[in-house]
Amino acid sequence: MTQDVSSDLSFEQALAELETIVTSLESGKAPLEDSITAYERGIALKKQCEKKLSEAQEKIEKITIGQDGQPKAEAFETE
């Protein structure tokens, strides 16, 4: 079961905490129960980061010049 992550965390805060968890897990020094808890927290943080990135991507627009020579905004699509 994954832990809930506070939506008050910014993307940068969630990513920093996730990096700390990964470093801790990679060290292999934490007790098993602590590692499981940290892993579950990491999953929740990863999901939050993915959600925030998706939301940001939806807001991104690219500026183009129309045939009339005027700038216009249109959705930015990734390939």
pLDDT digits (tens, 9 = 90+) for 29-77: 999 999 999 999 999 999 999 999 988 887 777 777 788 888 887 777 6
Paired residues of 71 in beta bridges: 65
Predicted confidence (pLDDT) at residue 17 exceeds the cutoff of 70: yes
Evaluate if residue 79 carries a pLDDT over 90: no
- pTM recorded for the entire structure: 0.69
Q: Which domains does the chain have, with CATH numbers?
A: 11-75 (1.10.287)
Assess whether pLDDT exceeds 70 at residue 23.
Answer: yes
Per the document, the length of the chain is 79
Helix (H) or strand (E) holding 36: helix 32-59
